[in-house]
Structure 1
């Protein structure tokens, strides 16, 4: 470390009270920014859990659908029409709906029911217990073991319950990549059983799952489906459509953005004011360095080092604190939806760099204006 930066480090850490105040301000600003954006990332991830877990390449739906949960049934004949489009390898129906389950103790629990195509079982989840072929057994249902699994009484193989006065039997326990957003357990069964057990409108197909022969056929499939008056989206496009809905058509995105901006302003004001006070208290030392020949560029480098070191240290502490609390929250509350991603960390780092830059600018202006004569005369 060059001599001037070593001096800057000692000046910074010599007054532990001021140094701690700087760190605390930036740490909690980073903590709040990462916490808010992590909650939003978790909501977006879980909102498209069904799309992620089923994994179909192309989804055909009504154009008015915004989220996977707000299903609008499409006509049964559309399945045959999609299958006849050149470039389609296969197309199968999918049922998605809600129901009330009556448990063994007499209580009721809302659930989400996914009905898979009877022939292919496209979108079936990987099983931790049971055999997927048992889904064809009489009254067979597969229960997803996720954060909401306990709401069904943690059923095992052979556990019985009722759906719409129909007997249902647990034949498998599944593990999925992503849990749902709305706090309800998920059941899988066959398409025919789902439509027979649950009340539906005259149309029973929620989505059509399509696989193209080649990636070059996707554009043709989408245009042909659009010509039929419906919408075809790839898995990534559907996930993005769901994310856009929660970002721009609900208050979630706006509220998270406001909280993040407020956290940034609070961190900026605390660190800027504290750093400015630190510069004022050490103004005589900077003047002495200038008197013995330190260049303006060296003084600026010292201030930038102090601001950058404090900002990055606070950034690391804030990330660590946020990670610890999210980990504890998920340990106690498995349904907690926060998720730390690279873009969360990137946004927080960019804002911390802005805080460091503003603090450096405030300090540099004051230091560059001092004259050694004024310091020694005082």
Structure 2
């Protein structure tokens, strides 16, 4: 078997032009598939950045909420009722809203303001500069150090700005796990200051963050909240709901799917046609092997080996090229949304196997029909 596979390898790489065309087709297909799905994965991660950064186990919200940015304010009695549910360790309010700040240079910039519970500061980010206690000071805000901080002029501790005729002062620089999706800087403050500084409706609670006494208490909490006419979701459930919104209720998911399918078709058409041409040009060699005693199964192994070898090399080159492009893009564009995950790599690998399998099938059918006397008669 080793001898047969060695012959298959030499036949494959002997025609450098055809071999290069096979690699280019698969590499380009893998690159596009990984690139498209990585961008989609990065967008979904950024869309759930607030959920990831705050880290609450259970989120209580209005049932009509479909993503974290479109919160619907809830009345205060909901917070009191949630706190009284058996199994709730504690529950705190969260304010999340948009605001417009005026910088020192006179430029106006949109920001997302997150108001944390005054008593516990539950969900506060990790500070790299300043002290978390300073958030209680008058006009105090904490800015998130991510790709969007440049839009605020790279503020430092002590930098001031104006928000709705109120003076704001940066008292801390924070680091978070995931930056936002829409390229808007994020400011943290206390809940009381957020509702004082930012005009809002009669109800001001965007979400209620719940810490259950145990994971077994979560179903009971969800049931009781549902009786109130509201919805309680775990962190993973809320992230999935946000992902479903962007997948199915916006054009984003459809566009990414179309591009991924196009990438697959491009790779399949180029590699399939090239591999079939390769089989036709080497038909006499396969016939000669069959004439000197090679079994049909051995010829099948040869073709499968050639297809899989090319597919794996192309897969590695495609993933490597995509990783390089994404790395360069993130260095040049800090808020570039792309995230290569194991799911992304697994999906691309599965699609490459399909391309290799179909290409092999086309070649195998042709080779198995060869009759040795036809080769020698020619």
> Are residue 233 (structure 1) and residue 229 (structure 2) matched?
no
* 1:30 is aligned to 2:35: no
Matches within 5 A, 1:1-378: 2-378=2-378
Write the distance in 2 (CA, Å) between the matches of 1:108 and 1:169.
16
Which residues of structure 2 form unaligned runs of 5+? none
Task: Output the CA distance in 2 between the equivalents of 1:318 and 1:170.
Answer: 44
Deviation of the 1:76 alpha carbon: 1.1
Q: Structure 1, residues 164-204: CA drift from partner, whole Å, max 9, x if none?
A: 11000000000000010000000000000000000000001
- Distance, in Å, in 2 between the alignment partners of 1:186 and 1:284 is 68
- Structure-2 separation of matches of 1:22 and 1:213: 58
Q: 1:215: Cα distance to partner?
A: 1.2
Question: In 2, distance between residues paired with 1:288 and 1:8?
Answer: 13
For residues 345-370 of structure 1, give each alpha carbon's deviation from its aligned partner in whole angstroms, at most 9, with x where no partner exists. 11100110011101111111111111
SS at the partner of 2:115? strand
Output the CA distance in 2 between the equivalents of 1:87 and 1:21.
Answer: 63
User: Aligned partners of 1:78, 1:374: CA distance in 2, in Å?
Assistant: 84
Distance 1:216 1:364 in 2: 56
User: Residues of 2 paired with 1:352 and 1:193: CA distance?
Assistant: 54
CA distance in 2, matches of 1:234, 1:358: 42
Distance in 1 (CA, whole Å) between partners of 2:369 and 2:225 is 69
In 2, Cα distance between equivalents of 1:268 and 1:107: 51
TM value normalised by structure 2: 0.99
CA distance in 2, matches of 1:197, 1:315: 53
C-alpha distance in 2, partners of 1:234/1:355? 39
Runs of 4+ in 1 over 3 A off after TM superposition: none
Once the two structures are TM-superposed, the CA of residue 340 in structure 1 deviates from its matched residue by 0.3
Matched position secondary structure for 1:68? coil
TM superposition shift of 1:282? 0.6
SS at match of 2:96: strand
Inter-partner Cα distance in structure 2 for 1:35 and 1:205: 39
SS at match of 2:134: helix
What secondary structure is seen at the aligned counterpart in 1 of 2:91? strand
CA distance in 2, matches of 1:77, 1:164: 28
CA offsets per residue over residues 319-375 of structure 1, 9 Å max, x none?
A: 000000000000000100110001111110011001110111111111111111111
SS of 2:90 mapped into structure 1: strand
1:154 and 1:36 map into 2 onto residues whose CA distance is 31
- RMSD (CA atoms): 0.6
Paired residue secondary structure (2:368): helix
- Which blocks of at least 5 consecutive residues in structure 1 are unaligned? none
Cα deviation 1:286-340 (Å, max 9, x = unaligned):
0110010000000000000000000110000000000000000000001001100
